[in-house]
Amino acid sequence: MAALEDLYASGHRACAGCGCALFLKTLMRVAGPDVIVTNSTGCMEVVSTPYPESAWKVPWIHSLFENNAPVAAGIEAALKATGRKGNTKVIAIGGDGATFDIGFGLLSGVMERGHDILYICYDNEAYMNTGIQRSGSTPYDASTTTTPAGKMSFGNQRPKKNVPAIMAAHGVPYVATTSMGYPADFTKKVRKALSIEGPKYLQVHATCVPGWGIDGALSLEILRLAVETGLYPLYEYENGQITSVKKIKNRKPVKEYLDKQKRYSHLFKMPGGDREIEKIQHIADLNAKHFNLDIEEKATAKEKEAKEE
Amino acid sequence: MAEKMRLTIGLVTKPGTTMQYHTGGWRTYRAVINQEKCIGCRRCADSCPDGAPFECAHDGKKKKFCVNYDYCKGCGICAYECPVDAIDMAVEEK
């Protein structure tokens, strides 16, 4: 049975339709058995190891929220010191809360010291495990339990922190964003990252079914929409320079992404919601401009000229 | 349900032991693959967070996929992702 051979075993307690569980399953299929995994506190730590069981079939250790990256760095240093490094890869997995907020300083230290680890952040855009609290990764206008939408507010009023750019500023050899909506893109970037020596940072967009208020069946479709609307651009930094960007043909309006999620439903009901959707569209437009996401077609180029006139 | 397991020092657990817990009991809908429509593209197996669809046979022309109902949580990703609509979500009857 193929399913029984997965290094991330079935029977884990993730919600039905969980994008992050799909991330772990796919990651272990790509990375293979010769890895050591460290995992900070978070959804994927909780659902994969309901004591006394474990879904992992590779060496795995649970660290605290903040010291995930240094634990991985310590393992890497110990392997090197004892001459047992070989081809063994050390992978640190953390959620966006552990990466963007709590473990941020220590992650920065590991990146700066040049340990040979791959840090992967699965980005579901809030503290989902503890009950959907806002994190540094929560996008503009998303409703969470600590930034609830209501008469006084449209939800989270701060933009998403640009951690990939900060990691790239450390001068590390490889930084990339990817999405579980594009398994081929994810697989390619994990393979590439594992082939490079030095600190690597990968950020994977993954859904949270209860946190985003979505239909589990649409899990991957919504992730693809995030990319297709320009709200979650997929790109690679190599040695601090952007080297590749996933181009988008016929970029979709952000409305198509927002209206499938309960965390944005207030934008379609509250007065003034239209203006907020325009602001989110503006964020997507800025992304498209910054990363040069759009594939310029002749017709659209003409339209642009007409607009400029 | 979980059998009694021997506890170890340092809370070390045996690998892959979640498999003894069958998450199939959670589901409301079950994924049913229509073998006539199926083209054996593997997308259901690759998009399932629980590793429920698996390659169960190969008739020489195409791969055949079955669903492991011990673990299928009935989320419906496979039915949505299937390029030829070969997967139906049927109401689970117990």
**Cα–Cα dist A203/B76, whole Å:** 26
CB pair distance less than 8 Å for A3 and B2: no
Measured in angstroms, the CA of B72 and the nearest CA of chain A are apart by 9
Number of domains in chain A: 1
Count the neighbouring beta carbons within 10 Å of the beta carbon of residue A218.
Answer: 21
**Cα–Cα dist A270/A279, whole Å:** 15
- Long-range CB contacts (< 8 A, 24+ apart) of A128-133? A128/A43, A128/A95, A128/A208, A128/A210, A128/A211, A129/A41, A129/A42, A129/A43, A129/A46, A129/A95, A132/A208, A132/A210, A132/A211
CB pairs < 8 Å spanning A and B: 126
In this complex, is the C-beta atom of B77 within 8 Å of any C-beta atom belonging to chain A? yes
Q: Average pLDDT for residues A208-218, to the nearest whole number?
A: 94
3-state SS assignment for residue A27: helix
Segment A240-251, tens digit of pLDDT:
899 999 999 999
* A29 band by pLDDT with thresholds 50, 70 and 90: very high
Measured in angstroms, the CA of B26 and the nearest CA of chain A are apart by 8
Which residue from A50, A55, A218 is facing B80, i.e. has the nearest CB? Answer: A218
pLDDT at A205: 96
- Please state the pTM of the whole predicted model: 0.91
Segment A122-168, tens digit of pLDDT:
999 999 999 999 999 999 999 999 999 999 899 999 999 999 999 99
Question: Domain with A31 in it: what CATH number?
Answer: 3.40.50.970
3-state SS assignment for residue B10: helix
**CATH code for the domain defined by B27-91:** 3.30.70.20
pLDDT at B3: 59
Does the structure show a pLDDT above 50 at A82? yes
Q: Give how far the C-alpha of residue A67 lies from the chain's centroid of Cα atoms, to the nearest Å.
A: 19
Question: What letter would DSSP give residue A217?
Answer: G
pLDDT at A70: 96
**Cα–Cα dist A35/A89, whole Å:** 5
Q: Is B94 exposed, middle or buried (0-12, 13-18, 19+ CB in 10 A)?
A: exposed
Q: Could you tell me if A222 and A214 are in contact, meaning their C-beta atoms sit under 8 angstroms apart?
A: yes
Q: Which is more confidently placed, A238 or B8?
A: A238
Measured in angstroms, the CA of A108 and the nearest CA of chain B are apart by 29
pLDDT at A2: 44
Portion of chain A with pLDDT greater than 90, in percent: 90
Which residue from A4, A58, A217 is facing B76, i.e. has the nearest CB? Answer: A217
3-state SS assignment for residue A288: helix
CB pair distance less than 8 Å for B18 and A26: no
Which residue from B50, B81, B89 is facing A10, i.e. has the nearest CB? Answer: B50
Mean pLDDT of chain A: 92
Tokens 């050591």 — which residue?
A36
User: Which residues of chain B lie closer than 8 angstroms to A9, CB-CB?
Assistant: 15-19, 51
Range(s) of the domain holding residue A43: 2-308
* A54 band by pLDDT with thresholds 50, 70 and 90: very high
- Please state the ipTM of this predicted complex: 0.89
**Cα–Cα dist A71/B62, whole Å:** 45
User: Which residues of chain B lie closer than 8 angstroms to A215, CB-CB?
Assistant: 76
A218: nearest CA partner in chain B: B77
B27: nearest CA partner in chain A: A16
Query: Please, which residues bridge with residue A8 across strands?
Result: A56
